Structure 1
Amino acid sequence: MNNQYKLLALDMDGTLLTSDHIISPVTSEWIQKAKDKGVHVCLSTGRSFESALPYGEELGLLTPMITVNGSEVWRAPHDLHLRSLMDTKLIAAMHDIAVAEDCWYWAYSVERVYNKDEWVDEIEGKEWLKFGFHTEDDDARHRILMKLQDMGGLEITNSSPHNLEVNPQGINKAAGIREVCGLLGLDMSEVIAVGDSMNDLAAIQAAGLGVAMGNAQQVVRDAADFVTTSNDEDGIAKVIEKFIFM
């Protein structure tokens, strides 16, 4: 039995969830086994708290949770530990870029998600967490990336090859997991971090064991210590079996 790892930090979309956005029975069963063995299981997602919570409840998780790519860290469901807000001027500037490029965009405020179809009249009056762009036009996405890099003060990742996700600089899942380790009295060497996209890269590089899903972007696979099977082939179950129960 391997007791080296005490925390399993799981990305959701493309990792924990299948392509149908469900947790497979096999993956759920192995997560319960890990919990029964005393391993903390932490959702680490770009999703909002409200969007992630039902899956945490389905798994019976009462442990810390990382949402909005690390802009929020929760001690337990509904118990906020840390929230990192984005300057409203940066949100306004990114909105201008999105409009100029005519791409799909969205932004997370503390109370809800806004998008191209339902935008907010008054940016100043909100507490902002994250901004996102989506376009399948590679040239447009590259232009957006260049403009974002020129702005500075931003943490730029993605959750699919066609999007860009933007948080305040220094806010990412690795920083979120460090906060969780602090809450649980653990070291980063005791963490298994699993993911598939650029917003998982920092966590995969910082964790004791960084795991990429079989469906992960190539740069994430290259950075990982181990590549498991895809999210539709119970990749997480195989990680738990191999590294927590071997």
Structure 2
Amino acid sequence: MSHKQYKLLALDMDGTLLTEDKLISQENKAAIREAEDAGATVMFSTGRGIQNVLTYVEELQLKSPIVTVNGSEVWKAPGELLLRHRLDTGLLRRMHGLAVYYDTWFWAYSVGDVYNKERWISEPEIDGKEWLKFGFYTENEESLSAIRKELESWESLEITNSHPANLELNPKGISKASGLEQVCGLLGLTMAQVIAMGDSLNDVSMIRAAGLGVAMGNAQDEVKQLADVVTVSNEEHGVARIIREYLLG
């Protein structure tokens, strides 16, 4: 496939575009600008909620679509929601129960807010929220594996991670890939015209579905095995390197 056939670059944020200090390097910033000047669309596809994405969108002056919370929300453009997939409230309560039982750190994105172990809400308030994603974090591998097994037995969630010590849960069938398919529909592109870059299990769906799936040098091993290409790490401007090699040619 000639380089000119890639029209869309979908970027994970943490561990991919962002350095460990959560910054966008000047090298990556310059390359993204060049890609856009060359007619490509550069967008974020992230596990973060929109509230934790917009400062970076503004920094790069992007007007492109955005996939947030691992695909539970797809934005036509900043501030313009295309669609939203809600997480069943009953499932959310059961996950919260698991987190409390195993004493893990946990967090949950609702529309317009994010809650966690230190800032949870009262039982009756749970029904009043539109939930999008739930996450567990623990360094205790036995607990993590027990939680995973329990969640798998429910057969009603998409189970990924954004770090080896966490689990991220979305409604079944909802992923960064499903989000990008919606974006391709909007832009009149096919997934074959997409380059997707990431480092964690929540990136696997889009890395596999994209025309070119790229794992970062710092990616989890499983992600590297499933990618078409492995590039340098997020600290070495891997995004800029892929833009130069595959988008600008």
How far does residue 56 in structure 1 lie from its aligned partner after superposition?
Answer: 0.9
1:195 lines up with 2:198 in the alignment: yes
- Render the CA deviation track for 1:151-195: whole Å, top value 9, x for unaligned: 221000000000000000000000000000000000000000000
For 1:187 and 1:14, how far apart are their aligned partners in 2? 26
**4+ residue segments displaced more than 6 Å:** none
Give secondary structure in 1 for the equivalent of 2:128: coil
Q: Which residue identity does 1:134 align to in structure 2?
A: Y
- Render the CA deviation track for 1:177-233: whole Å, top value 9, x for unaligned: 000000000000000000000000000000000000000000000000000000000
Q: Which residue identity does 1:48 align to in structure 2?
A: G
TM-score by length of 2: 0.98
Please say if residues 132 and 170 of structure 2, whose CA atoms lie closer than 8 Å, have aligned partners that are also in contact.
yes
How far does residue 138 in structure 1 lie from its aligned partner after superposition?
Answer: 0.5
Give the match for residue 76 of structure 2.
Answer: 75
**1:182 equivalent among 159, 180, 185:** 185
**2:128 equivalent among 111, 125, 128:** 125
Give the match for residue 207 of structure 1.
Answer: 210
Q: Which residue identity does 2:224 align to in structure 1?
A: R
How far does residue 111 in structure 1 lie from its aligned partner after superposition?
Answer: 1.9
* Structure 1: tracts of 5 or more residues without a match: none
Q: Which residue identity does 2:56 align to in structure 1?
A: Y
* Structure 2: tracts of 5 or more residues without a match: none
Give secondary structure in 2 for the equivalent of 1:123: helix
TM-score by length of 1: 0.99
Q: How much is the aligned-residue C-alpha RMSD, in angstroms?
A: 0.7
1:220 lines up with 2:223 in the alignment: yes
Between Structure 1 and Structure 2, how many residues are aligned?
Answer: 246
Give the match for residue 163 of structure 1.
Answer: 166
Give secondary structure in 2 for the equivalent of 1:144: helix
How far does residue 240 in structure 1 lie from its aligned partner after superposition?
Answer: 0.4
- Render the CA deviation track for 1:73-111: whole Å, top value 9, x for unaligned: 000000000000011000000000000000000100002
Give the match for residue 23 of structure 1.
Answer: 24
Alignment of 1:73-152 (within 5 A): 73-121=74-122, 122-152=125-155
For 2:73 and 2:127, how far apart are their aligned partners in 1? 20
For 2:227 and 2:12, how far apart are their aligned partners in 1? 14
For 1:239 and 1:108, how far apart are their aligned partners in 2? 31
